[in-house]
Amino acid sequence: VGFDINCGVRLIRTNLTEDQVTGQVREDLAQALFDHIPVGVGQKGVIPMTMKDLDDVLYMGMDWALREGYAWPEDREHCEENGRMLMADPSKVSKRAKKRGVTQLGTLGAGNHYAEVQVIDEIYDTAAAGRMGLHQKGQVCLMIHSGSRGLGHQVATDALVQMETAMARDKIETNDRQLSSARINSKEGQDYLASMSAAANFAWANRSCMTYLARRAFAKTFDKAPEEMDMHLVYDVSHNIAKIERHEVDGVVKSLLVHRKGSTRAFPPHHPMVPVDYQFTGQPVLIGGTMGTCSFVLVGTDQGMVETFGSTCHGAGRALSRNASRRKLKHEDVLQSLKDKGICIRVASPKLVTEEAPESYKDV
């Protein structure tokens, strides 16, 4: 499922409105988020962590964050898989992967990862939006996009090596090394599912810790408790993950290992895996835009279950490669364009904004 296992996005609502986040307040909020949430390649986190703690994170996922006070009880209900893959086995994660991850909990990373303050621009289904606590145009929300950091990348790297051996043994051929695979019931396949699940749990705990830090940043800026600002999690979805699910194939319900790489789960109303709050609307589906375009909140449908195993896209795809973006764009021009649109930005390195400029992506 790629190198950034359980890269995903979550949406946190507030009861603030756009007119409360203007001028200097907007600058202060952007700076508070930047100060609270570590960003950048290899950046270390502020969440205290030992190797024993890390094993608990890999095993428990969001349940660890809840136990340690970094998440609210209701956050867990509004997260895919309740924020925990039960197949996780920390012993299948290498020492090198753990060493990379032990200092990175609660960090955003680089690339296309972001913590973005957003405003509701349009509501198309008032009933569904209302169930999510998204009530009016101009309502302020926060979207966080990140994954399993260096730990997940190392888990994927380790698996590639193991799977190459399995492919030679089982005579599996692909045209790209990164399409390496193993039979599900082989030792390599089972080991990968266990280590991937552990990395997925790390990613959910990571986003939970960033939510904790973001709530503190809002509290500092507005001098209110996060509860007072109704900073509840709307939903958290994964973009890179594989899970065993029940789906109908040719009229027969089967257990399938569904791989979603660069795609989002989109389950319909009344599905048993959809939270109670969303049983009548369907699972919230979060589609991230670029720094200069809108993101979207959708819901899963019955048609999607039939056509795509309950899956959809995960965001705006790239129109230019990162190298092409660096060659074609100047970071000063991108920053000025965003400023002209009223978009306030904080980045670890200004030059990196060219890679993630709106022009580098397709219109979502």
Ordered DSSP codes for 260-290: EESEEE---TT-TTS-GGGTTT--EEEEB--
The radius of gyration of the chain from alpha carbons, rounded to an integer in Å, stands at: 20
Nearest Cα residue to 92 out of 8, 170, 151, 169: 151
pLDDT of amino acid 3: 86
Largest CA distance in the chain: 63
pLDDT of amino acid 350: 74
Distances (CA, A) of 162 to 158, 167, 176, 180, 217: 7, 9, 15, 9, 42
pLDDT of amino acid 323: 83
Nearest Cα residue to 11 out of 119, 125, 145, 142: 142
Cβ-Cβ contacts under 8 Å for 362 (sequence gap 6 or more): 316, 317, 318, 319
pLDDT of amino acid 328: 87
- Cα of 73 vs its chain's centroid, Å: 19
Q: Angle, to 10 degrees, between the axis of helix 187-222 and the axis of helix 23-36?
A: 140
Helix locations, the chain, DSSP H: 23-36, 51-60, 62-67, 73-77, 95-101, 126-131, 149-170, 187-222, 302-308, 322-328, 331-340
pLDDT of amino acid 211: 98
pLDDT of amino acid 196: 96
239 catalytic? Reply is no
- Cα of 208 vs its chain's centroid, Å: 10
Euclidean distance between CA atoms 178 and 36, whole angstroms:
35
For residue range 272-327, list pLDDT tens digits in order.
999 999 999 999 999 998 888 899 999 999 999 999 999 999 887 788 888 888 88
Residue segments in the chain with a per-residue pLDDT below the cut of 50 = none
pLDDT of amino acid 359: 82
Q: Considering Cα of 344, then 349, then 354, then 359, what sign does the dihedral take?
A: negative
Residue type, 160: L
Query: How many residues can be counted in the chain?
Result: 364
Instruction: Kindly report the pTM of this predicted structure.
Output: 0.94
pLDDT of amino acid 347: 86
pLDDT of amino acid 10: 97
Select which of 145, 153, 232, 314 is catalytic: 314
Q: Are 104 and 43 in contact (CB under 8 A)?
A: yes
pLDDT of amino acid 77: 95
